[in-house]
Amino acid sequence: MGIFLVGSLIQTIILINNEDYGFPNYQGTLLAIAAMVIAYIGAVFGAKYLHRWQTIVFAIVCIAVRDCLRHMLTCFPFNLSTFWPISVFTTVKQSNN
């Protein structure tokens, strides 16, 4: 299912950049097969190089998570008198909608 999603996303990117281009039905399947071949080659031949790049990828993910948390804590309003986990689950607001 995921490879067909990749093929559809590639078609959508092409369609956004070139609105006049019409896709025949078989091109989505060809893009999905190409995505599957790339994933297979990456899994088979990339496995022996995994020990070289897994630490780098882990560091990038850690930095991304840290930056997301930093953004959430600095950009969202934060009031110490109503600590978020407690106030969300204990405060009931009445809506007149």
Q: What is the model's pTM? A: 0.47
Residue 67 to residue 69: CA distance in whole angstroms:
5
Q: Which residue, among 67, 44, 64, has the nearest Cα to 56 in the 3D structure?
A: 64
Q: Which residue, among 19, 3, 20, 23, has the nearest Cα to 11 in the 3D structure?
A: 23
> Would you state the pLDDT for residue 58?
93
> Would you state the pLDDT for residue 46?
82
Output the tens digit of pLDDT for each of the chain's 97 residues: 677 788 788 888 888 888 888 878 788 788 888 888 988 998 888 888 878 888 888 999 999 999 988 887 777 665 555 555 665 556 666 666 6
In sequence order, the 6+-apart residues with CB closer than 8 A to the CB of 32 are 3, 4, 6, 7
Phi, psi at 23, each rounded to 5°: -95, 125
> Would you state the pLDDT for residue 92?
62
